[in-house]
Amino acid sequence: MSPTGSTAPSGLKAELCISPRPVIVLLLFPAVVLVFMAPSSPDPGLASALAILFYVLTPILWAIHDQKEQLGRWTTVLALIAVIPLTRYILPIPGLFAIFALSTVLSAAVIGLSAMIPVAVVETVLLVLAVVHPPDDLSGGEIGITLLLVWGLVGTLQGMSSALGELVRWSWDHFEYSRTLLEEVSERQVQQKEMLDALAHANRELALANDRLAATRLIAEEARKSKASFVANVSHELRTPLNIVIGLADVLLRRPRIDGQELSPSVREDLAMLYRNCEHLSSMINDILDLSQVEAGRLALHREWVDLSTLVNSALKIVSPLLKKKDLAMSVMIPPDLPSVYCDPRRIRQVVLNLLGNAARFTEKGSITVQAEVDESFLQVSVTDTGPGISVDDAERIFEPFQQSATGPWTSRNGSGLGLSISKQFVELHDGQMGLQSQLGVGSTFYFRLPFVPPAGPRAAPARWIVDDWAPRNAQVDLPAVRLEQRLILCDPTGEAYPLLIRYADQVEFIDTRNPAEALQACERLPALAIWVNAHTLGELWALTEEIRAGKPDMPIVGCSLPPRATLDLSGASGVLLKPVLYRQLEEAIGQIDRAVRRVLIADDDPDTIHMLSKMLRACDENLEIIAATDGRQALDEMRRRLPDLVLLDLIMPDMNGWQVLAAKAAEDGIRDIPILILSATDLQDHPVSSRLVLGTMGEGLSLNKLLCCAQTLANLLLQPDSAAPG
The CA distance from 358 to 385, in Å, is 9
How wide is the angle at C-alpha 566 spanned by C-alphas 560 and 570, nearest 5°?
Answer: 135
Residue 369, H or E segment: strand 367-375
Q: What is the reported pLDDT for 666?
A: 86
Residue 651 counted as domain residue: yes
The CA distance from 179 to 182, in Å, is 5
Written in H, E and C, the secondary structure of 151-198 is: HHHHHHHHHHHHHHHHHHHHHHHHHHHHHHHHHHHHHHHHHHHHHHHH
Instruction: Identify the DSSP state of 94.
Output: T
Residue 527 counted as domain residue: no
**In a shared domain, residues 440 and 571:** no
* DSSP β-bridge partners for residue 627: 601
Residue 199 counted as domain residue: no
Would you call the peptide bond into 580 cis, given omega within 30 degrees of 0 as the criterion?
Answer: yes
In which region does residue 62 sit, left (phi positive, over 0), alpha (psi from -120 to 50) or beta (all else)? Answer: alpha
The CA distance from 631 to 650, in Å, is 9
Domain final residue pick, 138, 168, 197: 138
The CA distance from 72 to 590, in Å, is 135
> Domain holding 327: CATH number?
3.30.565.10
Residue 239 counted as domain residue: no
Q: What is the reported pLDDT for 682?
A: 61
Amino acid at 297: G
Instruction: Identify the DSSP state of 43.
Output: -
Q: What is the reported pLDDT for 533?
A: 92
Q: What is the reported pLDDT for 72?
A: 67
Mean pLDDT of 365-373: 89
Mention every residue, 6+ apart, whose C-beta is less than 8 A from residue 562: 494, 496, 497, 500, 534, 536, 689, 690, 691
Mention every residue, 6+ apart, whose C-beta is less than 8 A from residue 221: 719, 721
What's the number of domains the chain is made of? 3
Residue 246 counted as domain residue: no
The CA distance from 555 to 552, in Å, is 6
The CA distance from 689 to 724, in Å, is 17
Buried b (16+ CB within 10 A) or exposed e, 531-555: bbbbbbeeeebeebbebbbebbeeb
**In a shared domain, residues 435 and 308:** yes
Mean pLDDT of 699-710: 81
Lowest average pLDDT, out of 54-58, 129-133, 460-464, 627-631, goes to 460-464
**In a shared domain, residues 572 and 447:** no
Q: What is the reported pLDDT for 483?
A: 44
Question: When comparing pLDDT for 500 and 295, which is higher?
Answer: 500
Q: What is the reported pLDDT for 116?
A: 72
The CA distance from 697 to 156, in Å, is 92
**In a shared domain, residues 443 and 575:** no
* DSSP β-bridge partners for residue 357: none
CA atoms within 13 A on the CB side of 428: 13
Range of the domain at 659: 567-686
SS3 619: helix
Q: What is the reported pLDDT for 617?
A: 86
Q: What is the reported pLDDT for 480?
A: 43
Domain final residue pick, 388, 419, 451: 451
Q: Which of 522, 545, 549 is nearest to 535 (CA)?
A: 545
Residue 241 counted as domain residue: no
Mention every residue, 6+ apart, whose C-beta is less than 8 A from residue 278: 242, 245, 246, 249, 580
Residue 337 counted as domain residue: yes
Lowest average pLDDT, out of 27-31, 48-52, 662-666, goes to 27-31
Q: What is the reported pLDDT for 344?
A: 83
Q: What is the reported pLDDT for 458?
A: 43
Residues 268, 256: contact at Cβ < 8 Å?
yes
Tens-place pLDDT, residues 275-311 = 777 776 777 777 676 666 666 666 667 778 888 888 8
> Domain holding 624: CATH number?
3.40.50.2300
Amino acid at 634: Q
What are the C-alpha distances in Å from 675 to residues 568, 648, 669?
Answer: 17, 9, 13
Tens-place pLDDT, residues 403-438 = 555 444 444 445 556 778 888 888 888 888 898 888
Domain final residue pick, 74, 107, 138: 138
**In a shared domain, residues 315 and 441:** yes
Residue 727 counted as domain residue: no
Q: How does strand 676-680 pair with strand 646-650?
A: parallel
Q: What are phi and psi of 375, to 5 degrees?
A: -125, 100
Helix axes 28-37, 69-90, angle to 10 degrees: 20
Using 50, 70 and 90 to split pLDDT, how confident is the model at 113? low
Q: Which of 659, 493, 488, 663 is nearest to 561 (CA)?
A: 493
Residue 550, H or E segment: helix 538-551
Q: Which of 285, 367, 283, 354 is nearest to 323 (CA)?
A: 367
Buried b (16+ CB within 10 A) or exposed e, 49-81: ebbeebeebbeebeebbeeeeeebbbbbbbbbb
**Long-range contacts: 234-241, Cβ < 8 Å, 24+?**
235/285, 235/288, 235/289, 235/681, 236/652, 236/681, 238/281, 238/285, 239/282, 239/285, 239/579, 239/580, 239/681, 240/606, 240/609, 240/681, 241/608
Distance of CA 225 to the CA centre of its chain: 23
The CA distance from 619 to 212, in Å, is 62
Instruction: Identify the DSSP state of 98.
Output: G
Which pTM value belongs to this model?
A: 0.48
Lowest average pLDDT, out of 126-140, 421-435, 439-453, goes to 126-140
Using 50, 70 and 90 to split pLDDT, how confident is the model at 566? very low
